[in-house]
Structure 1
């Protein structure tokens, strides 16, 4: 009793709001209502007892047996789904939970046989020997309970480990991210319907219907997923319409029917089960699955593509706006102007004029070319050089600051999103340069064919506690990550490493 009470408490600790609990409880309540209605209005199976000339009591021969039968199924499902199988799937208390699973199954088999000896006592007159009748009842109960509880446990295990198992299938990794959870839900729904279908069959399992239900839904689910995630997208890429898709599915249906015929040959002696299954499966594939998959693709993925395109445009505009705002930095402008003013006092006006010209070029670039979707890589590199030259003016008085740049001159026609590279250089100068301590920055940029290779490394030093930049992150780094993911999805590789003494950035970018 302590063990069972411990497992009962596990039901409460489990997320009891799961869909399985509410579906099973709803079906249990509906079954109770059905039993009560049959007891009151039709006296159960009284007519069968009258035909066999056996005394009949509606409570003893119908209500109580049926009540205990559905209650045992309900409780067993809860135990398997919320107690035993989750523990087994997670490899906790394996021996104990296996023993409890076997005990619950054995108890249900015996109890089910006893229930049937009361609710189906009219069948006893069909047998010459009462022991033979009990043997038949036991065999029916064992077959039914064993198969149904096998489904219970299969569902409970799939519920716990299904997503993990599906994610291990290599072919599913190459398609849309939603395919695994959607396939998981579809399989769960099929298993639920199979369990309900088996449960309502009561003792005598109709193997013909069971074969049909075990084959037709999985085949249609498989074909639907293949159509939605592979067949239709490839046809749409080639601008093929519904007609090509429909006749292609007719061919697929013929192939599947031939394969099923080979598989179901051993069942040919069971009458019309094989042709019925093949015909029903073909009708479902052509009349239900084919148009449904097309409808789902059209109204789901094409809408998602439109939404994703709008999100990309909106995100690009928002990122560009925020980035533009971050670049018009008064702190940097005042520092640059103060540097130029100090230089003018100490040196000839020629150097000061050069600095002012570079600053003007940078301002024009930020205010005009930054609003374009793409600019030439040559202009982007000019902006980087202007920024670096200005920073060199600011740091030229310190012999302990080393700035090494190897930026190739760009004579190609490559295009790049404006101001995509500058955040890494700004971050290096902001956090890697100290006017009081030895520091360095190294910048390299080169292109091979249409691939850009960009590296920035800088020293790291501890800022003073009163430094306003101490707790701030690099300028625009998060923003540039967002822009890369939006504008160069699948076309870039960004590596950022930070050690105690150095901050390193490597960017590989596929350009147009």
Structure 2
């Protein structure tokens, strides 16, 4: 490639030969420039291939793992790709070295300011409801800070004060007229898409939960009639405890059918369901003196609203893994509200069920499902702490209602 370029230059730029005293020296210079050009072309092609592979890797990695850190890599990769394409155009146009320096410094500064605006400043800006004027001043301040290393690098490479001033004259308009609105537009577009996606995930989570519950509601009228019949029979036979259990089970089924499908319900009704479940479990384990079930639930719950079935899975999990009819067991459930915050604690012993226990394979709603629902329904408004040892399991949940 260098040889072809050099020979072509001896014919297309033959008039430059007259500038040299010796023809051999002229040929040496022409051939040196030809091989230098070919070297730059090879470097440019190699850089293009590496950058393309890097961007492709980032895009594929983004499809596998969604996250802000990975998105930063993708944005930086596309920014570098834009800079490199421009660099190739300037080199192919035989632009002066100073122009290449200016292009590189201004574009790299723009990439840094864009990343700062999208991932560090604008999230706080939107969260606190600040005005656009505050954002304008922030980007102007970032551009002023970026001007310091740009000036130093320019003086080190070009050693020309006038050229440094020229670069700054291009730097500030570029950041204020291009980088500032571009970062604003990108962030707003992504925020809108994120809100839509969160809404869809929330609705999907609700649909999945509703479907799971509806699948268990087989012929509810028949079950209600059967429970009423059993309840009446228990009263006739003076089996008060049996009648009480049947009545609580009926209340739980009524809750599952009518209130569980709503988006928000009264916290009092959700706690009623919780207490009915605990009462039934106490009825089941009442014959064992080594089982201690302690509940401390506030009676005054005000008029708070909560998404249904968020608390019961933790209690179900406690009874599933914390109760053994052969060994001492304990469960403690605490629920209280302060101002607009719900505090919910469940502390239980742990007993590993034998392999032949049919309950071992049943996962119920599951704690992972509750974690997902909390993340969707109360983002940034809840805290879930789970601690486990060899013999005890503890959860602490706070929700801003």
CA pair 481-322 structure 1, distance change in 2 beyond 3 A: farther
Which whole-Å CA distance do the structure 1 matches of 2:249 and 2:103 have between them?
75
1:187 maps to 2:187: no
Question: Structure 2: where are the runs of 5+ without partners?
Answer: 59-65
CA pair 406-191 structure 1, distance change in 2 beyond 3 A: farther
Shift of 1:220: 1.6
Aligned to 1:453: 345
TM-score (norm 1): 0.59
Which of 350, 356, 362 matches 1:463? 356
Aligned to 1:119: 8
1:301 maps to 2:190: yes
Q: Deviations over 1:336-372 (max 9, x none)?
A: 959x779949973322332233223323433444325
Shift of 1:178: 2.6
Shift of 1:304: 2.1
CA pair 231-384 structure 1, distance change in 2 beyond 3 A: closer
Which whole-Å CA distance do the structure 1 matches of 2:292 and 2:251 have between them?
22
Determine helix, strand or coil for the equivalent of 2:297.
Answer: coil
Which whole-Å CA distance do the structure 2 matches of 1:145 and 1:287 have between them?
37
1:375 maps to 2:266: yes
Which of 415, 419, 435 matches 2:309? 419
Aligned to 1:168: none
CA pair 273-304 structure 1, distance change in 2 beyond 3 A: same
Shift of 1:146: 4.8
1:410 maps to 2:301: no
Is the CA contact 1:484–1:492 (under 8 Å) kept in the aligned structure 2?
A: no
Which of 169, 172, 175 matches 1:285? 175
Which whole-Å CA distance do the structure 2 matches of 1:323 and 1:505 have between them?
26
Which whole-Å CA distance do the structure 2 matches of 1:429 and 1:231 have between them?
47
Is the CA contact 2:265–2:306 (under 8 Å) kept in the aligned structure 1?
A: yes
Shift of 1:209: 1.9
Alignment of 1:294-443 (within 5 A): 294-298=184-188, 300-311=189-200, 313-315=202-204, 317-325=206-214, 328=217, 344=234, 348-370=238-260, 371=262, 373-376=264-267, 379-394=269-284, 403-411=291-299, 413=301, 416-426=306-316, 438=326, 442-443=330-331
Aligned to 2:63: none
Q: Deviations over 1:305-348 (max 9, x none)?
A: 441453255235424523542564779x79x959x779949973
Question: Structure 1: where are the runs of 5+ without partners?
Answer: 1-68, 70-111, 166-172
TM-score (norm 2): 0.72
Is the CA contact 2:9–2:30 (under 8 Å) kept in the aligned structure 1?
A: no
Aligned to 1:72: none
Determine helix, strand or coil for the equivalent of 2:293.
Answer: strand
Shift of 1:119: 0.4
CA pair 476-151 structure 1, distance change in 2 beyond 3 A: same
Is the CA contact 1:444–1:455 (under 8 Å) kept in the aligned structure 2?
A: yes
Determine helix, strand or coil for the equivalent of 1:213.
Answer: helix
Aligned to 1:87: none
Aligned to 1:136: 29
CA pair 296-505 structure 1, distance change in 2 beyond 3 A: same
Shift of 1:391: 3.5
Which whole-Å CA distance do the structure 1 matches of 2:199 and 2:138 have between them?
33
Shift of 1:159: 5.8
